[in-house]
Chain A
Amino acid sequence: NAGVTQTPKFQVLKTGQSMTLQCAQDMNHEYMSWYRQDPGMGLRLIHYSVGAGITDQGEVPNGYNVSRSTTEDFPLRLLSAAPSQTSVYFCASSYMGIYEQYFGPGTRLTVT
């Protein structure tokens, strides 16, 4: 099992550009989520999904979109990148929202 995979590992964007961070899991988990991690702020939930076709907003959803067309994939889209979105992004999955979350390796994003 590959577990949770994320691509790319690193990305530099210019302000206003858009991009998609990819996340996939091969554990047949229903629950998937996206977090951003900033120094001193811990992990903050951006969006989450409790199954294919179902998504909802987390704590800091502005500027990000998600979709969940399959159980395996949960891409995160940045619509118009801003310097405030410079962060490390982690995708995670779990059987349900009250079970262990498995995190991907992270994507380090810099917006200039």
Chain B
Amino acid sequence: GENVEQHPSTLSVQEGDSAVIKCTYSDSASNYFPWYKQELGKRPQLIIDIRSNVGEKKDQRIAVTLNKTAKHFSLHITETQPEDSAVYFCAASNGNQFYFGTGTSLTVIP
């Protein structure tokens, strides 16, 4: 089955700096790669996603890049704000099953 690895597990940045979280996957059949944000005690919520026919997608301060050849994708958050502090999960889907990374706890220091 698919194996999704996510790094780093914790990340602290100063407010205004950028944050980068990286994920790798193993199954070349995976074709959909969402990123979720989960605040403490809350449900995961989608923040951005990318499909295998696209290399990069941007939504305001958030961007995701995908390298299908190397089987890795990354989340980039620019101009970080304290409200960006949360746990972020990457995932990979082959259309039937979603496989999640183990999460990155991001802390933005004011």
Contact = CB atoms under 8 A, between A and B. Distances in A.
Interface residues of A, number: 24
Contacts of B101: 42
Interface string B85-110: 00001010111111111110000000
Interface string B43-70: 1111001010000000000000000000
Contacts, number: 57
Contacts of B99: 45, 59
A42 B103 contact: yes
B100 A43 contact: yes
A33 interface: yes
A99 B49 CA distance: 9
Contact of B51 (A42, A97, A98): A98
A44 B100 contact: yes
A41 interface: yes
Interface of B: 1, 6, 31-32, 34, 42-46, 49, 51, 89, 91, 93-103
Closest 8 CB pairs of A and B: A98-B32, A103-B43, A42-B100, A42-B102, A43-B100, A97-B95, A100-B46, A98-B95
